[in-house]
Amino acid sequence: MKFNKKILIPIIILLVIIVIAVIFYINTRNKDNDSETDNNQVTTQDNAVEEQENIGEQDEVENTNSEEENERINSVKAQYGFTGDNSLYTESNNELSIKPSIAYKTGLIGSLEQRMPTYTEINSTNVQGEPTDTGIWVSPASRNIFLSCINSVENSYKIDENGYLKIKSGADSKYTQKINEIEQQKSLVIVDMTGINYIVDVVTGDIFKNEFEAMDPYQVYEYVDYEEANKSIIFLNSNQMNRLTNQEIIDTMMQVI
């Protein structure tokens, strides 16, 4: 049987082209798979490094827990999947919460500096710029808006040169008793009216910015109570969206503090 060369040659060329195309496709796919594997490995390594750095930063907070406390904390962490450093936690009734001192310093530094605090800063004994006297102290970033807010409710207030809320001379205020009570109890109440606070996540131990007003414009406040030191911070809604009344904000504040 004789083959027609005019037909056979084009067929052979076509087969060669197909084989070359298949080989090229296989090689390209293998290279893509290798590249994807490398990228996944790099991503995994980056995530591991980031997680390790975060754990390392949390380690900067001095662990003042006793061995028994650490055992209880570890037990609750294992039960509920908490991953924060033990130094951040206090345990009660098989529940974990962030230590009040840590929560207070995190909120205070965030308010004073208008930024996210570091673990080193919240582990410091003293916070630079923290008010030292008792009474109601208004953070620098909030003084204008807070004074305008409270005086729209009752035009009886001023903020003195040290940042403390005072009743104007000769003025009569329905909040006089509360303000005097705070001073007599030697309590420090810090007021921040930015609608933002910085907190330590109880599950991960990460510090993050809590924009509570943006998330819920009807939420009046967030509150941090450092009862052991007789200090607290109230973070108020700035009411930029006009969802609340000034009366509601001030009345709620006076009830909470």
What's the pLDDT score for residue 58? 62
Place 6 in a pLDDT band, splitting at 50, 70 and 90: low
Place 75 in a pLDDT band, splitting at 50, 70 and 90: very high
Q: For a pLDDT cut of 70, what percent of the chain falls above it?
A: 81
Residue type present at position 143: R
What's the pLDDT score for residue 154? 93
Q: What is the DSSP secondary-structure string of the chain?
A: ----HHHHHHHHHHHHHHHHHHHHHHHHHHHHHHHHHHHHHHHHHHHHHHHHHHHHHHTTS-----HHHHHHHHHHHHHHT--S-GGGEEEETTEEEE-HHHHHHHHHHHHHHTSPPPHHHHTSSS-TT---SSEEEE-GGGHHHHHHHHHHH-S-EEE-TTSBEEEPTT---TTHHHHHHHHHTT-EEEEE-SS-EEEE-TTT--EEEE-HHHH-TT--EEEEEEGGGTEEEEEEP--TT--S-HHHHHHHHHHH-
Place 100 in a pLDDT band, splitting at 50, 70 and 90: very high
The CA distances from residue 152 to 30, 146, 240, 245, 246, in Å, are: 71, 10, 15, 10, 7
The CA distances from residue 207 to 42, 122, 167, 240, 253, in Å, are: 26, 10, 36, 25, 25
Pick from 10-14, 221-225, 249-253: least confident: 10-14
β-bridge pairing 165-167 and 157-159: antiparallel
Over range 232-240, report the average pLDDT.
97
Beta bridge partners of 96: 91
What's the pLDDT score for residue 45? 55
For residue 101, which of 224, 234, 236 has the smallest C-alpha distance? 224
- Which position has the higher pLDDT, 213 or 31? 213
Please report, in angstroms and rounded to a whole number, the separation of the first and last CA atoms in the chain.
Answer: 106
pLDDT tens digits for 38-59?
Answer: 555 545 555 555 445 555 566 6
Record the pTM: 0.75
pLDDT tens digits for 186-209?
Answer: 999 999 999 999 999 999 999 999
Please state, rounded to an integer, the average pLDDT across all residues of the chain.
86
Over range 105-126, report the average pLDDT.
93
What's the pLDDT score for residue 248? 97
Over range 229-244, report the average pLDDT.
96
Residue 95 has pLDDT above 80, yes or no: yes
Over range 98-111, report the average pLDDT.
96
Q: How many whole angstroms separate alpha carbon 237 and alpha carbon 220?
A: 5
What's the pLDDT score for residue 15? 75
pLDDT tens digits for 147-186?
Answer: 999 999 999 999 999 999 999 988 778 898 899 999 999 9
Over range 104-120, report the average pLDDT.
95
